[in-house]
Chains A and B, each alone.
Chain A
Amino acid sequence: MNTRIILSSLILTISLGCTDLVLASEGRNWDPVASDKLIKLPANIIEKRIQQDFEASPMALHIVGLEQQMQDKLSQLKSLQELMTDSEGEALINQRFELVQQKSEYLDLMQETQGLRQNALAKKQGLYETVLGKLRNKNGRVSQGEVYQLKQKQAEARQRMQKVLAQVDNGLIHLGLDQRSPYADEFALNLAKVEDLKNAISQHKANASPTLGDVEVTSEEYVRQLLMEASTEQSLLDQESLMFSYMAKLVALDAQALEYEISYGDEDTQLTQRNRTKPADVADMFL
């Protein structure tokens, strides 16, 4: 009777587990924020920074703990299955009951891990979307702002001036002002050094653009790629959830079969018909 109650509650628990993936994850959260400091990082470092932040979070630590528990549970299941090959009768029934219970516990752990992974991925996606939005805002603000327009005008004016530099210098010589000014001398001297420094900066690895398969991309493109990877991961997690629900369904069916077996015996048990006196058998006595 007691075993039957436990089995029924087990079936109910597993059935609920199939449909409900809501977690009780108090104190196991990961709350990343797309701060301005994060946006300023190079795109490839943003990804690493987010991953690093996640790995240090209580949520990630809890997932690691759950993974360990799942491994332990899995070895218990394997040894129990090995034990069952040599058992029979009442002992086998008990071991089958134990197996269903262990499987159910394993699924509980798997459900919690799956939920945490989904949760972390959703947060990561949200974070990447915020980063992308901020990057777009920043670029839009820069390209539309008055300061940007002004800088463009200055650059155009500089190009325009460049074309007549020699002409103006010749004009100075023509006017008898052939001695170069201290500014012009110093500027020419510094110019080559400035170019060298600028080249060194542009070639510096810390200033390098992020790459995707050896192709240099903008930060925006890189974050878009990260979002695509996150949605790939999301669809794989969805598939894993489906697998999990099928596994839970199988355990529930196992438990139900075991319950029926305990109550009504196994398939081979024949229904015994009570002997009844047929009128034909006793008819002769009345002749």
Chain B
Amino acid sequence: MKITLIIATIASLLSAPSFANSLFSLENLERERAALLSAQLDSSLDLNQRQKKVQNIYRRLVDIERMVLRDDRVTSSSSSLAQNAFNKYELTFLVHSSAEKSLPPLSHWMSEVHLTTDSILSAKTGHR
């Protein structure tokens, strides 16, 4: 009887708490990546400011990408956010996938979304 009680207690410890947001780390990653791209594209920042800001975010992104890849809670439910994140590894794990191609994260991101110098130069402003 006592053994059964102990097993039941341990089993309850083994199961993940239901109140925890399983996508917490992935949502953080999305926010940081958006912040990195924003900082890279922010024309109000000078070169020094941008570099400092980008380096800080880059540092955090390295850790967060690793956290997401090691976090089993992210894949404990088939949420569309997680599905989308793993279907687009190149865009989701920007720092690590850019390292594979030895490219800076921004260049890698731009090539993934098919933004080339030519396409930018040939773009025209107007209403869609």
- Asked if B70 is at the interface of the complex by the 8 Å CB criterion, the answer is yes
Residues of A contacting B72 with CB < 8 Å? 151, 154
Residue of B whose beta carbon sits closest to that of A182? B63
If over half of A's interface residues share one DSSP class (helix, strand or loop), that class is named, otherwise mixed; here it is helix
Asked if B70 and A157 make an inter-chain contact with CB atoms under 8 angstroms apart, the answer reads no
Residues of B contacting A175 with CB < 8 Å? 55, 58
Asked if A177 and B66 make an inter-chain contact with CB atoms under 8 angstroms apart, the answer reads no
Asked if B66 and A161 make an inter-chain contact with CB atoms under 8 angstroms apart, the answer reads yes
If over half of B's interface residues share one DSSP class (helix, strand or loop), that class is named, otherwise mixed; here it is helix
Cross-chain pairs A/B with CB under 8 angstroms, 20 sampled? A145-B78, A147-B78, A149-B78, A150-B78, A150-B82, A153-B86, A158-B69, A160-B100, A161-B69, A164-B99, A164-B100, A165-B66, A168-B96, A171-B99, A172-B62, A175-B55, A175-B58, A181-B63, A183-B66, A184-B63
- Asked if A268 is at the interface of the complex by the 8 Å CB criterion, the answer is no
Q: Beyond the given A150-B75, A154-B69, please list 19 additional residue pairs across the A-B interface where CB-CB is below 8 A.
A: A145-B78, A150-B78, A150-B83, A150-B86, A151-B72, A153-B86, A154-B72, A154-B74, A154-B86, A157-B69, A157-B93, A158-B69, A161-B66, A161-B93, A168-B95, A172-B62, A181-B60, A181-B62, A183-B67
Asked if A164 and B96 make an inter-chain contact with CB atoms under 8 angstroms apart, the answer reads yes
Chain B: interface residue total (CB-CB under 8 A): 28
Asked if A177 and B63 make an inter-chain contact with CB atoms under 8 angstroms apart, the answer reads no
- Asked if A2 is at the interface of the complex by the 8 Å CB criterion, the answer is no
- Shortest CB-to-CB span from B80 to chain A, Å, is 10
- Shortest CB-to-CB span from A2 to chain B, Å, is 61
